[in-house]
Amino acid sequence: MRVCILGAGLTSLTLAKALVNQNIYVDLYSQKKINLPHKSRTIGISKSNIEFFNNSIMNVDKIAWKLKKIEIFSDNLGKEKLINFENNHNELFSIIRNQKLFESLIKSLSKDKHFKRINSLKNFNSLDNYSLIINTDFTSPITKKYFSRKILKQYNSSAYTTIIQHEKIINDIAVQIFTKLGPLAFLPISEKETSVVYSFYNKKNENINDLIEKYNRKYKILKIEKINSFELKSLNLRSYYQDNILAFGDLLHRIHPLAGQGFNMTIRDIKILLEIIASKYSLGLALDSSVNYEFEKKLKHKNFIFSNGIDIIHEFFNFERKINNSFLSKSVQLLNKSSKVNKFFTKIADRGTLI
């Protein structure tokens, strides 16, 4: 069986690796030159997803930095913690540099006989040779033709990412602060480096470096690397597939980065897709449009609910920012004191859903 994947980002490479591990031949169509992700970009992967990644895709323990705790603050509460997530001092989350994961996947796939990368796609008639096509490419004509109908939300804000270099410390606690300008996250990636993601409401005359220095509470910063930025928006596709073509990754769903759940959603999607494919194989059935039908049936409602849950969190703190009142934060702080409530939200963050 040979599957076609369009695009060459982290999603397509991760999916390709998962498929070739199942002895499925993968042809990946991409531009002649594959651009590496920006070196300041990082992804957070939950504990259950890291375990799945290691077992079913590729072992990433050597490039992952494990976190044991997540502390959340709000400007309206000062230095008081809003929420505190931990799991008996065990691993809670892992942070990986996009660039390192990208390079590891490329290196592994290049040695696999089941994988073939084809430079660009000039003749779409050649897609007729595939019974299953997975599209991750926003710029593909196929995307414009079949996957333009979506629920889209503009946040009127941008995410600014960088890496801060600092003096060596025990660095296993992630910090998120809901500031008056937007959520700011400090995500450790080593004893001497921490990734910073600042989702900043579009406003002029604000210096990101100064804001990082202002909200930094534990690092002796030696250097702030060049800042990268991108516009923030959320989307959910109205239809996941067209015949034997399946949309995938950010093309299916994109969410606000405040909870670090974007790539986690994609990993969970890959897990379900592999389960569907394994079921087809066990019954001696071909991989065709029925795979796409089952995938949408199993995941569309779950992804929509989860995406909207992230958006509700964003709007919750955005509303508090606008009214400049700490009542909402204090209510959340009170709820978090219940161990059952804390475990409930920790489980959702790890698995993505309780459905």
Which pTM was predicted? 0.90
User: Which CATH number is 335's domain given?
Assistant: 3.50.50.60
At residue 134, does pLDDT exceed 90? yes
Which tokens sit at 154?
């503009």
In terms of residue numbers, what domain contains 52? Answer: 2-351
Neighbours of 55 (CB within 10 A): 10
Place of tokens 């409401």: 201
pLDDT at 97: 95
pLDDT, greater one: 79 or 249: 249
State residue 352's pLDDT score.
Answer: 58
Judge contact between 150 and 238, C-beta under 8 A. Answer: yes
**Of 87 and 248, more confident:** 248
Beta-ladder partners of 235 = 152, 254
203: pLDDT strictly greater than 70: no
The pLDDT value recorded for residue 355 is 44
φ, ψ (nearest 5 deg) of residue 7: 110, 160
pLDDT at 354 over 60: no
The beta-strand segments (E) located in the chain are: 2-6, 25-30, 42-46, 64-67, 69-74, 81-86, 93-97, 115-119, 133-135, 150-166, 173-179, 182-188, 193-201, 221-224, 228-237, 241-242, 245-247, 253-254
Structural domain total, the chain: 1
How far CA 146 is from CA of 166, 243, 266, 294, 338, in Å, comes to 47, 10, 20, 18, 47
Q: Averaged over 304-315, what is the pLDDT?
A: 88
208-224 residue pLDDT tens: 899 999 999 999 999 99
pLDDT band at 205 (very low <50, low <70, confident <90, very high): low
Q: How confident is the model at residue 37 (pLDDT cuts 50, 70, 90)?
A: confident
Q: What is the mean pLDDT of the chain?
A: 88
The dihedral sign for the CA sequence 348, 262, 249, 296? positive
